[in-house]
Amino acid sequence: MRPQYEFIDALHRAEVRHLLVGAAGANYWAFDGSQVFSLPVHEFLVEPDPIALRAAWDALQQLGYTLREGTERIADPHAPGFAESVAHEGRSTTGYRMRDRMLVEIHTAFAGLTFEELWNARRTFRAGELALEVARLGHILDELWQRDRSGDHLIVSTWSQGMHDMLEPDPEMSVILAEHRARIRAGLVGKDS
């Protein structure tokens, strides 16, 4: 099982409501490979509930991840009040696993919307038997644009260009396609063409 799917499966088993966000979430909306980003980080929005956060952290630790908040290692994610403060303040934590260099970011706030708003607008994709709950592309891109990380802005720019290309076709290609359709209608396309 792919590393990110291990964690998603663990969240399902722990009954933690979550959404795949960030580049990994945007990848599920891709029309083709030109819009896919291969990054060693997978971002999740977890319901901002202390019980859900602890369950997500437990799942990461059971899979061999080291927990951090910023640059600081989280010594005890079950310390009194810690999960409550992370959830209340909308902070993010990370899990890193050395063996495959996987980084998982756990967010408790996203795009200025409530978890329920994002959850109700989600789309479910499938990887075999595994359900992948993914935030709407517009919500993902809004959040990425608000961040001050160059990689996030590159993702938004790539998607913007892809949408532009889809909605505003290349005039030269439009002429080629029109000529090809005319040849098909005229019966000029077949075994000999």
pLDDT in tens, 23-42: 999 999 987 787 888 888 89
Residue bearing the bigger pLDDT, 3 or 7: 7
The predicted pLDDT at position 192 comes to: 47
Residues forming a β-bridge with 134: 20, 123
Name the pLDDT band for 78 (thresholds 50, 70, 90): very high
CA pair distance 175, 110, nearest whole angstrom: 43
**Per-residue pLDDT at 191 exceeds 60:** no
CA pair distance 97, 170, nearest whole angstrom: 44
The sheet with strand 123-127 has its strands ordered as 72-73, 66-69, 92-97, 102-107, 41-46, 18-21, 130-134, 123-127
pLDDT in tens, 125-164: 999 999 999 999 989 988 988 887 778 888 888 877 766 5
Which residue's entry shows tokens 């964690």? 7
Q: Side-chain half-sphere of 56: how many Cα atoms within 13 Å?
A: 29
pLDDT in tens, 162-178: 665 665 666 776 676 67
Q: Which helix (H) or strand (E) holds 102?
A: strand 102-107
The predicted pLDDT at position 189 comes to: 52
